[in-house]
Amino acid sequence: MIRQIAPPDILEVLKIEYSCFKYPYPPSLINFLYANFRETFLVAEVGEIAGYVIGISDDKEGHIISIAVKENHRNLGIGKALMDGIIENFKNKEISYVKLEVRESNTRAITFYKRLGFTKKELIPTYYEDGEGAYILVKNLG
């Protein structure tokens, strides 16, 4: 059910990105991430593409760039399965910690990440283009 992205999935990922976020990442960025980081670009397939997670990494740090699950597939554990999958990939690359940014107002996602063992590191004011701040959340993989 959780697998690496394949070319035919990209359009579906873009549809989910545009339906889930007020300020979605542009197709050019999603294509760039597909071209350069597909090992840590995973999709959840449940009859259809239900969600995706995109990560990038260097030698020691993993960074979750985006995660979204289609509204009609939420609260079924798909988000957790995607996060478990990408964290397993990061561990295989011997990465020691993961970070991500989340909007201050996105309490649902913050609760979700905390349950997965992420903790708040700092708040960056006016991080997003509309002026909202971002919490940096981190999780050690050691």
Ligand X SMILES: CC(C)(COP(=O)(O)OP(=O)(O)OC[C@H]1O[C@@H](n2cnc3c(N)ncnc32)[C@H](O)[C@@H]1OP(=O)(O)O)[C@@H](O)C(=O)NCCC(=O)NCCS
Among 14, 29, 46, 109, contact with ligand X (rule: CB under 6 A): 109
In whole angstroms, what is the distance from residue 55 CA to residue 29 CA?
Answer: 13
Size of the site for ligand X (CB under 6 A): 18
Q: How far is the CB of 114 from ligand X (least distance, A)?
A: 7
Does 80 sit near ligand X (CB under 6 A)? yes
Among 79, 98, 118, 135, binds ligand X (CB under 6 A): 79
Burial class (CB in 10 A: 0-12, 13-18, 19+), 47: exposed
Answer for the pair 126, 132: CB distance below 8 angstroms, yes or no.
yes
Residue numbers at the binding site for ligand X (CB under 6 A) = 20, 67-69, 74-80, 102, 106, 108-109, 111-112, 115
